[in-house]
Structure 1
Amino acid sequence: MVKTVLRTMTCALLLTSFTAATAADRGVPVTPDILLSHIRRNAEETPVHPRMQWLDNGRRILISTVTVQTQAGAGRGQFAEYVPLSYLQRTVDVRTGATTDIGVGYDPVVAAQADVIAYHPEGSGGGRLVVARSGGTATCEVSVSELMSDTTGIEAVALAANGGHIAVAVGYGASRFAAPAAAPTNGAAVRVLEAAAPEIWGHNVAVWVLDEHCSDARRIADLPETRIGRMTWADQDRKIVAATATPVPGKGFPRSDLHLFDPATGQGSVLAANIGGQGAAFLQAAPVGPYVAFTYDKEGLGYQLRKQFAIASMADSRIHVVSMDPRERPRWLDERTVLADISGAHPLTRRLATVDIEGRETELPGIPANAMPSPDGRRLAWLDIDLYGAASLSVADLRKASGVWQASPRRQIWKADPPLASYARAERRFVRCESTDGVRPEAILVLPLNHDPRRRYPLIVDLHGGPRGGLDGGSHGAYTPGTILSSSSLEHDMWAAKGYAVLVADYRASGLYGFDAVSRTGEAYAQDFTDIMCNVDAAIRDGVADPDRMAVIGHSYGAYEVNWIITHTHRFKAAISKEGGFADHMAGWGAGARTNQLATTLYGTPIDNPDVYRRMSPINFTRGVTTPTMFVSHRGGALPGDLYGWMYAAWREQGVDAQYRIYDDPNHVLIGEADQRDQLYAAISWIDRYLIPERAEVVDETP
């Protein structure tokens, strides 16, 4: 029979409500067709990119506001077809709040101590770079095709703090994903894998240095079989530090290193080896002195799960500080101190701390975690983006008194309304409970439109993929996309308009509650189960959710969690498991003929630890299942060894309703318009069939 996991859990419901735009009469309720139209237009859900940068010695702040997208139908989401989003680069005067528009483009970099900006113009595809001033005047432009032939575009850009030089990493050589040659009509179409054959990318990178006028171009370094994710100028603009990635034969993730280049001589060296896949997530040099801060994983894990950072010295290549786990986005406050985020599942729940070069950490209460210090360390600026997409930019003075950093009251200098204000947005709340081992997993509870506190509502538990990323949808800023289409937060408002509550739950496998909290003995899914059910039970005790009408849905790693949940409890009346057909770790470890480096780091190999992998396979727990389940896969799903095919057969063998939908779309997130429509309406029909939202239970509160 299904093993129901029963554990004693104490849950303390911690609510933070966002009610500024929740009334149904303030907008149009979201229908399935409205949601599909919104995704098809590739429309943004926040008015500004979540990152901002100081410019011109702290006199201005650069923000990237969203423009109307002209490229439609390409889909959105982490795995959708790549579309370079365009933003209007805009500066805000810190003293007056006056704004100046620079130009349309993306990925801007700034000179912290000078009035110089560089960005990719719209439609360039990364092949051109524009250099401009904060007044809006473009000073020069460079095309990488003029620097070298066979280029694949710009990979990274860094501006010297004084604005005098630009470092540009240019990819060249064959594309990693080159189309295969056509098979001869009279011969076999065969691909042979040989263990002795080295795994290569066929991609190289060159580092160029130009002056602020885009001239005097010098090619100072070449790195074969390498990509560069990030670069920064260091040591008062005398050195360049780059985070690189190179393939590792047979591994699922590349190896990352920090390289140090002397632009005057072209001499290069490795500053820090095997820093983990987080190396490209952040990289910044101290304003004075030989130190550089970067995201780091002491085990060299190529997957961003540990979420540490380190400080290394360019003088002796020694790593001086490794942060507590987990910490994110270190940025320099002065020559010996960095600000760092204390991780949370969502940007709005993260906290801020200082860490000095000796490793001492002090939390700064009352200051948002995304605050950025000015180049002189005397001010902080931060962008607030709420759960509905409204944004504001604020500044505060910063000083150190008696060894303690203190910030003055905030002063708002810019704000923008949410792009989705015309729709009826459901009320959203942060909830947090206490699970096991002191872990307090976070979740977002989306209430039904016109929520009546006397009623209980059917609940949809929505589980994100990754598992990294938490509740902010990766790089989306503050909004959390729904699981069915993995593209828009309006998906949750659509369910709310139909009378559902939605619980968007995080779990410890995201790495946001400490890497050591993730089990290495095959109990990871069992621990995630308690984390998820902890917040489910909190929603029930709060009187929102009807415990007899609950469904669970998940995408990718979230679908792995769904597979575990429905084989370990009878509490859910319906389930949708999407793109989790490789969740049998025994077979999934070698999927694509590559070892899974994340699984190997956590659990060892299935060759050495087969019992650990067997304990994590839902195949071993399918006897007695009762939850009607829809399995969804993209092209290639119905293949030998397919977990979904196995589970579908097991469901039908036991007389449990099941559906297996396989789409020809090769993407991990469906991007075809017809496929998206079919998937959405099929999911709605499946959930409605078993939860019947119209039958809301009235809670009798009579004493």
Structure 2
Amino acid sequence: MSDSSGTDATPFADLDHYLALPRLGGLALSADGERLVVGVSTLDKDATAWVGSLWDVDPSGDRAARRLTRGAKGESSPAFTPDGDLLFVARRGEDDDAVAELHLLPAGGGEPRVVATHPGGVESVTTPRTGSAVLVQGSALPRSTDLADEKERRKARKEKKVSAILHADYPVRYWDHDLGPAAPRLYAAEPTGTSPEPAGPGRHRAGHAAAADPLDEPTLELRDLTPDAGVTLVETRHVLAPDGTFVVTEVTEPEGGASRRQSVVRIDVATGERTTVLAADADEEFAVGAVSDDGTRLAYVRERRSTPASAPRPWLAVLDLTTGEARDLTDGWDRWPGETCWLPDGSGLLVVADDDGRAPVFHVDAGTGAVTRLTDEGAFSAVTVAPDGAAAYALRSSYAHPPEVVRIDLAGVPGRDGAAATDPVAATVTALRGPVDRPALPGTLRDVETRTADGTRVRSWLALPEGAGPEDPAPLLLWIHGGPLGSWNSWSWRWNPWLMVARGYAVLLPDPALSTGYGQDFVERGWGRWGDAPYTDLMAATDAAEALPEVDAARTAAMGGSFGGYMANWVAGHTDRFRAVVTHASLWDLDAFSGTTDASFYWEREMTPQMRREHSPSTYVTEITTPVLVIHGDKDYRVPIGEGLRLWYDLLHASGLPQAPDGTTAHRFLYFPDENHWVLTPQHARLWYEVVLGFLAQHVLGEEAPELPQLLG
């Protein structure tokens, strides 16, 4: 594998080559620990969509990866049954209306086959380590009584061309899709005899309980565990007990004022009986983590709700599912726990948390709550522990490389092999022979630190092009992350700095106030004061980068998306130091945003009327003298299109950038009628970068206005 090379060998110098790079995501480990499967997405033959396939990766690292599936429309959500069969979700057939079905690839080899369908499509599958239960998620209309009834109701809406939704609660949208009228339900998928009717698009194997034929292969019948769930399971997470006997799931319920609270319930798989195990209140919420291997304890995240004066504060806790006793584990740890999984013997947990521009794996002692960092570089995700507890597997990425499959040796974890909790632990992390090698980079990556006027440390990643130095300094691009509660710590295919580096830019990726991984106080510095410390931190980071001999301080630009777009707008109205500003999916008027975003109640907890007045970039439109490129997708429900439309009008109507005598302007608006918050389809992503790079070349590099990309007409 190669970490870096010159631009001649890098795929980042050409957008088509970049889009063609395979992308890893999703990881599944068999119950015996002998097989590991990862998903790989590649461009389809028309280069208009990414299609997933599943690959077998040797957990020992000896064998090369092997492709398992080749469906034209792709496969996703791999999960092993206790017997070693591989379940996954896929659509088949040429019909564009075909829904995703549950498929099974036998452990002993053979062809995949459909084992369960749902009229609305199978959305995900979860399997236990032991037992026979399989948990399937699918969405059903509120009044449907069974799958046959669900099919008829959906057919009637389609035939009558009805898309209307009558809402009685909130929210009505989420990120990039409308909510309702169907809502998620959880189903137990249980073996049954195969129907003599063939399974195919529109056929419902699940729910057809026919007499079993010994020559037939068994299918799965879906039994609804949550028939009265309504919208309580919308955008929630659930976990299945290791023995498959019960499910623990988050539920959201109204609490008045268009707000919702999140509790946790336990559902018995055999009976469907539901028991609330963690009840939310006005001050705290809960998020499901993992159930211990013996089924007696639930690890979960307990979070203090935010207020206008204080940011959210999460920590890890453990609930005894037998006694109902809850115990805090990491309330004294100044980091925010993320992904969580138990060690098989129940002695501790592996937890991922943002930390100083990385997202390492930590060990948390289940008895004392002591935290030990296990890994060094990289951001880890999809962590799963081998059944013997000797190793864990994960995806690891950083801004030096995209996700790759790794093995984490757990021999030195405190409490194992005589290791004490105070012993220094750095687990050995080994990259396995995955489906894809690291792409060659067009430059180098380094940490950059500075101190603000109040003494606060602010760190950033700086990606530098090959050859940048005192004799040939690179123009600087300040790229501001979204969130705002987040960090530049893991590879992003969508927001990738190396495409800019390949064209000669130095790209600065700072973590200002509100960023996670630097402690609660660092978050609180910017809470409710978005235009204060986050802005001054960004300017301090920019000052530090511009002082480097590899950077040309006279040629700079700023850009960002979502909250990063908000900050780009704020920057444009508060300084003229940048030659160009690019603002994507950005907040402009906080008063309008707070009532039209998809989860207004969350933002209302922070945004007082005074905060909205004092920290709206729209207030400073007359101070904007820098050319601004506005980008927005119409299907963006997190930052609704109204923000982009109002920003564009205000720039033309009132900004301080002089217009030409003929009324034209240097500002630009790139609008995507069918895209969402991120702009995800391949050719739209390609256009995004073409337009951004052209805008920067004109205003930062002083080149002639570029010719419009061909696909813009």
- Same fold? TM cut 0.5: yes
Q: After superposition, give the CA deviation of every residue in 1:636-665 in whole Å (9 maximum; x if it has no partner).
A: 957998244224423247669641425261
1:377–1:250 CA distance, 2 compared to 1 (3 A): same
Of 673, 683, 696, the match for 1:687: 696
Which residue number in structure 1 is paired with residue 60 of structure 2? 94
By how many angstroms is 1:551 displaced?
Answer: 0.6
Distance in structure 2 (CA, Å) of the matches to 1:502 and 1:380: 34
Q: After superposition, give the CA deviation of every residue in 1:589-623 in whole Å (9 maximum; x if it has no partner).
A: 1126x7722322223xxxxx422221111233345
By how many angstroms is 1:142 displaced?
Answer: 2.0
**1:479 aligned to 2:491?**
yes
Determine if contact 2:239/2:248 at 8 Å carries over to the other structure: yes
Distance in structure 1 (CA, Å) of the matches to 2:31 and 2:645: 58
By how many angstroms is 1:377 displaced?
Answer: 1.9
- Give the alignment's Cα RMSD to 1 decimal: 4.4
Q: After superposition, give the CA deviation of every residue in 1:252-304 in whole Å (9 maximum; x if it has no partner).
A: 8x64432211122221122223499x999863210125111234433289xx9
Determine if contact 2:39/2:55 at 8 Å carries over to the other structure: yes
Which residue number in structure 2 is paired with residue 237 of structure 1? 244
Which residue number in structure 1 is paired with residue 127 of structure 2? 159
* Percent identical residues: 19
* One-letter amino acid matched to 2:655: W
* One-letter amino acid matched to 2:238: M
Q: Which has the higher contact order (CA 8 A, sep 6+)?
A: 1
Which residue number in structure 1 is paired with residue 500 of structure 2? 495
DSSP 3-state at the match of 1:590:
helix
Which residue number in structure 1 is paired with residue 80 of structure 2? 110
Q: After superposition, give the CA deviation of every residue in 1:73-95 in whole Å (9 maximum; x if it has no partner).
A: 556xxxxxxx6x41223142438
By how many angstroms is 1:23 displaced?
Answer: 1.5
Which residue number in structure 2 is paired with residue 35 of structure 1? 15
Determine if contact 2:362/2:373 at 8 Å carries over to the other structure: yes
Distance in structure 1 (CA, Å) of the matches to 2:701 and 2:644: 36
Q: How does 1:211-360 map to 2 (within 5 A)?
A: 211=190, 214-215=219-220, 217-222=222-227, 223-227=229-233, 229-234=236-241, 236-245=243-252, 251=258, 255-274=261-280, 283-299=289-305, 308-321=315-328, 323=330, 324=333, 325-333=335-343, 334-344=345-355, 348-360=358-370
**1:143 aligned to 2:116?**
yes
1:87–1:417 CA distance, 2 compared to 1 (3 A): closer
1:122–1:296 CA distance, 2 compared to 1 (3 A): farther
**1:376 aligned to 2:388?**
yes
1:401–1:135 CA distance, 2 compared to 1 (3 A): farther
* One-letter amino acid matched to 1:380: A
Which residue number in structure 2 is paired with residue 642 of structure 1? 646
Distance in structure 2 (CA, Å) of the matches to 1:408 and 1:676: 38
Determine if contact 2:483/2:562 at 8 Å carries over to the other structure: yes
DSSP 3-state at the match of 2:402:
coil
Distance in structure 1 (CA, Å) of the matches to 2:684 and 2:426: 51
Determine if contact 2:588/2:643 at 8 Å carries over to the other structure: no
Q: After superposition, give the CA deviation of every residue in 1:525-575 in whole Å (9 maximum; x if it has no partner).
A: 322113322332222233222222211012222110011112222321221
Determine if contact 2:3/2:439 at 8 Å carries over to the other structure: no
Which residue number in structure 1 is paired with residue 90 of structure 2? 121
Determine if contact 1:556/1:578 at 8 Å carries over to the other structure: yes
Determine if contact 1:342/1:352 at 8 Å carries over to the other structure: yes
Distance in structure 2 (CA, Å) of the matches to 1:662 and 1:329: 36
Determine if contact 2:360/2:375 at 8 Å carries over to the other structure: no
Which residue number in structure 2 is paired with residue 210 of structure 1? 189
By how many angstroms is 1:306 displaced?
Answer: 5.4
| Structure 1, 511-520 or 322-331: larger mean CA deviation | 511-520
Distance in structure 2 (CA, Å) of the matches to 1:567 and 1:287: 54
| Structure 1, 658-667 or 407-416: larger mean CA deviation | 407-416
Determine if contact 1:498/1:693 at 8 Å carries over to the other structure: no
1:131–1:296 CA distance, 2 compared to 1 (3 A): farther
DSSP 3-state at the match of 1:335:
coil
Q: How does 1:313-462 map to 2 (within 5 A)?
A: 313-321=320-328, 323=330, 324=333, 325-333=335-343, 334-344=345-355, 348-364=358-374, 366=376, 370=380, 372-385=384-397, 387-389=400-402, 391=404, 393-398=406-411, 399-404=416-421, 409=428, 413-415=432-434, 417-418=436-437, 420-421=439-440, 425-435=442-452, 440-462=457-479
By how many angstroms is 1:369 displaced?
Answer: 6.2
Could you tell me which runs of 5 or more consecutive residues in structure 2 were left unpaired when the two chains were aligned: 143-149, 173-178, 192-217, 635-639, 704-713
User: Size of the alignment, in residue pairs?
Assistant: 621
Q: After superposition, give the CA deviation of every residue in 1:438-493 in whole Å (9 maximum; x if it has no partner).
A: 76554332212433454322111122333345336xxxxx4234xxxxx363xx44
Which residue number in structure 2 is paired with residue 667 of structure 1? 675
Which residue number in structure 1 is paired with residue 214 of structure 2? none
By how many angstroms is 1:239 displaced?
Answer: 1.9
Determine if contact 2:629/2:669 at 8 Å carries over to the other structure: yes
Distance in structure 1 (CA, Å) of the matches to 2:292 and 2:271: 22
By how many angstroms is 1:329 displaced?
Answer: 0.9
Q: How does 1:573-652 map to 2 (within 5 A)?
A: 573-580=579-586, 582-591=587-596, 596-603=600-607, 609-635=608-634, 642-652=646-656
Distance in structure 1 (CA, Å) of the matches to 2:631 and 2:426: 50
In the superposition, the TM-score normalised over structure 1's length comes to 0.75
1:649–1:89 CA distance, 2 compared to 1 (3 A): same
By how many angstroms is 1:313 displaced?
Answer: 2.5
1:97–1:319 CA distance, 2 compared to 1 (3 A): farther
Distance in structure 2 (CA, Å) of the matches to 1:246 and 1:72: 44
1:195–1:640 CA distance, 2 compared to 1 (3 A): farther
DSSP 3-state at the match of 1:663:
strand
Distance in structure 2 (CA, Å) of the matches to 1:221 and 1:507: 43
* One-letter amino acid matched to 2:133: H
Of 537, 556, 571, the match for 2:577: 571
* One-letter amino acid matched to 1:374: A
By how many angstroms is 1:173 displaced?
Answer: 1.0
Determine if contact 1:243/1:259 at 8 Å carries over to the other structure: yes
Q: After superposition, give the CA deviation of every residue in 1:471-516 in whole Å (9 maximum; x if it has no partner).
A: 36xxxxx4234xxxxx363xx4443343221223333334443455
By how many angstroms is 1:166 displaced?
Answer: 0.9
Distance in structure 1 (CA, Å) of the matches to 2:171 and 2:532: 38
Distance in structure 1 (CA, Å) of the matches to 2:298 and 2:529: 37
Distance in structure 2 (CA, Å) of the matches to 1:568 and 1:44: 39
1:97–1:684 CA distance, 2 compared to 1 (3 A): closer
By how many angstroms is 1:332 displaced?
Answer: 0.7
Of 52, 74, 80, the match for 2:27: 52
Distance in structure 2 (CA, Å) of the matches to 1:524 and 1:379: 42
